[in-house]
Amino acid sequence: MSVKTKDEILLWVTDVLRDVLMQPALQVTAYSTADQVAGWDSLTHMTLISRIEQDFGVEFQFQEIIALEKVGDLIDRISEKLG
């Protein structure tokens, strides 16, 4: 995958969330949290992480996953891993 910017990563993460949550009109920002998105629970979170790991070819450690508080944190970690 040739995603380069954080804006592109946000768009991709949004598309994955829409797919996982089956909410095609879902809108999220870098400031969105799981608590603000209907249906985003712990199972959805792990499904999202798994899809990101597969699609981007990155791997998250447990401590990284539990430290994610908002979508922007996830975008930052993906960007760092793509380095």
What CATH topology corresponds to 6-82?
Answer: 1.10.1200
The one-letter code for the residue type at 69 is E
**Measured distance CA(38)–CA(50) in Å, rounded:** 20
Residues contacting residue 7 through CB under 8 Å, at least 6 positions apart: none
Q: How far is CA 60 from CA 48, 50, 53, in A?
A: 12, 9, 7
Give tens-digit pLDDT for 51-68: 999 988 999 999 999 999
Give tens-digit pLDDT for 13-55: 999 999 999 999 999 999 999 999 999 999 999 999 999 999 8
Residue (of 11, 13, 4, 27) closest to 68 by Cα position: 13
